[in-house]
Amino acid sequence: MAQQPVFDQEGDQRVDDAFIDDVTDAEEREIAHRERGTSRPITVVGNPVLHKECKDVTEFDDKLAQLIDDMFASQRTAEGVGLAANQIGVDLKVFVYDCLDDEGVRHVGAICNPVLDELPAERRVLDDSNEGCLSVPGAYAELARPDVAVVRGRDAKGEPISVRGTGYFARCLQHETDHLYGYLYIDRLSKRDRKDALKQMAEREPRYPVVPND
């Protein structure tokens, strides 16, 4: 069982280290990653790697750094704002993001072995905006998620980090963490809405390379 987070009187999480700065030089860092990387096709719903919990990252080495570069390249090709490793067929708990928050601030980063903190009930303000997924291409559905998210994990060198997001960025952090535990956003929909999302996917051609399911 994960250790419960500690919150201050305003309901914000207290952590030993400050939240990472994923804003400074965001564009330059994203460009550097993807220029070193190779774009890979996206796995889609039905592929077994998407439907089980991924393995923890235990080796923070050059191979992991190359995977992260490839993920940034793949994310850009697919025009996404977040990408989990299993979305390019890799069974490891790591995701990358290049996402604007609701104030238009760009956040760029990578996090390994992410764990979402549980917010106190009084802080769980739900946002039921539309959500989509690169692994369910062409489909969108409304899904209620908390409008604030805190994720703890490790950076590419194995150092502990914490990331906080609000609004659309909070949705991204929750969505990508879900992926690494075997959940797609459509798994959180009603049966009717899930069926509609899969119908949308079937009716539209993906705009980026995907791995066909056998």
Averaged confidence pLDDT in the chain = 91
Q: Which long-range contacts (CB under 8 A, 24 or more apart) does 66-70 make?
A: 66/36, 66/37, 67/92, 67/94, 68/33, 68/37, 68/94, 68/96, 68/110, 68/156, 69/33, 69/34, 69/36, 69/37, 69/38, 70/37, 70/38, 70/39, 70/40
Contact 116, 35 (CB under 8 A): no
The β-bridge relationship of strands 13-14 and 42-43 is unpaired
Q: What's the pTM value of the predicted model, to 2 decimals? A: 0.90
Residues in a beta bridge with 154: 112, 160
What is the rounded distance in angstroms from the CA atom of residue 144 to the CA atom of residue 43?
Answer: 25
The β-bridge relationship of strands 42-43 and 82-84 is unpaired
pLDDT band at 109 (very low <50, low <70, confident <90, very high): very high
pLDDT band at 14 (very low <50, low <70, confident <90, very high): very low
Active site residue 176: yes
Of the listed 10, 35, 59, 176, which one is catalytic? 176
Mean of the pLDDT values across residues 152-158? 97
pLDDT tens-digit readout, 20-68: 999 999 999 999 999 999 999 999 999 999 999 999 999 999 999 999 9
Question: Which domains, and CATH codes, for the chain?
Answer: 16-205 (3.90.45.10)
- Supply the pLDDT for residue 119: 79
pLDDT band at 120 (very low <50, low <70, confident <90, very high): confident
